[in-house]
Amino acid sequence: MSVPQFHLRRAIASDLDPILALERATDLAPHWPPSTYADILESNALGAPSIPRSLRNGWETEIQRCLFVAENDNSLIGFAVGLLHPAASSRTAELESVVVSANSRRAGIGRALCRAVLDWSRSQGATEVVLEVRASSSAAVALYASLGFTTTARRPRYYQDPADDALLMRLQLE
Ligand SMILES: CC(C)(COP(=O)(O)OP(=O)(O)OC[C@H]1O[C@@H](n2cnc3c(N)ncnc32)[C@H](O)[C@@H]1OP(=O)(O)O)[C@@H](O)C(=O)NCCC(=O)NCCS
């Protein structure tokens, strides 16, 4: 298999449609409404905090999100989303989503996208990164473990359609 060349960058507004197409084509990806991605893209452009308008309640000024994309020959082949939780003492970031197109996998793109989110989290002052993943998502669990994440808890039957346990994983940032 040839290894696709790729580069990473912060997402921009024109990435919305290809991000949605890839997300919709990927069963194991978290599925969010287009407005959620649009809000993140808007905040990426402005360098402002991001949380969907429908969820804003006053403390969101401390919430920040990042969205990175991987490209190959001007085609979007992956993306990842990170979130910085507001907290008084320890700053916790969350790796919310990482998706790579089916024909571009096992070429290091998922790892590179996750590392971009980890670097962004560190740059925002986060001291740890947490995530939640379907226990049956063996590729994702292996990817996270390869980055140093360890499982901290298991939530039985947390997901539906299809039913699945959730694994909570955590990485202490250096
Ligand atoms: C999970 C996913 C993002 C991995 O992307 P990827 O680009 O193929 O991952 P990488 O090539 O960077 O793999 C990095 C490491 O993760 C592990 N890994 C990735 N896919 C794996 C698989 N199918 N089986 C076993 N280990 C795997 C390996 O340790 C791999 O390192 P190696 O190739 O040197 O052995 C991709 O499979 C995907 O999009 N899956 C569907 C969506 C999803 O489940 N997302 C996670 C929940 S948001």
> Looking at residue 59, what is its pLDDT?
46
Return left, alpha or beta for 106; rule: phi > 0 is left, psi -120 to 50 is alpha, else beta: left
What ranges in the chain are assigned the alpha helix state H?
16-24, 34-46, 109-123, 138-146
Choose one of 24, 76, 143, 158 to mutate for the ligand 1 pocket test, by most ligand atoms within 8 angstroms of C-beta.
143
Q: What is d(CA 81, CA 13) in angstroms, rounded to the nearest whole number?
A: 15
Token pair for residue 147? Answer: 């980055």
Q: Is 168 helix (H, G, I), strand (E, B) or coil?
A: strand
Can you give the length of the chain in residues? 174
> Among residues 45, 47, 13, which one has the least CA distance to residue 123?
47
Return left, alpha or beta for 125; rule: phi > 0 is left, psi -120 to 50 is alpha, else beta: left
> Looking at residue 79, what is its pLDDT?
98
CA angle 36–136–17, rounded 5-degree value: 25
- Closest C-alpha to ligand 1, atom 33: 106
The minimum-distance atom of ligand 1 relative to the CA of 101 is 39
> Looking at residue 90, what is its pLDDT?
66
List, by residue number, the catalytic residues: 132, 144
- Is the CB of 30 within 6 Å of ligand 1? yes
Architecture per CATH, 7-172: 3-Layer(aba) Sandwich (3.40)
Task: Identify the weakest region by mean pLDDT among 2-6, 32-36, 119-123.
Answer: 2-6
The minimum-distance atom of ligand 1 relative to the CA of 133 is 47
Task: Identify the weakest region by mean pLDDT among 54-58, 85-89, 105-109, 135-139.
Answer: 54-58
pLDDT in tens, 107-124: 999 999 999 999 999 998
Full-prediction pTM beyond 0.85?
A: yes
pLDDT in tens, 61-88: 557 899 999 999 989 999 999 999 876 5
pLDDT at 57 over 80: no
Q: Which residue has the tokens 């939780």?
A: 85
Domains in the chain: boundaries: 7-172
Average pLDDT score, the chain: 89
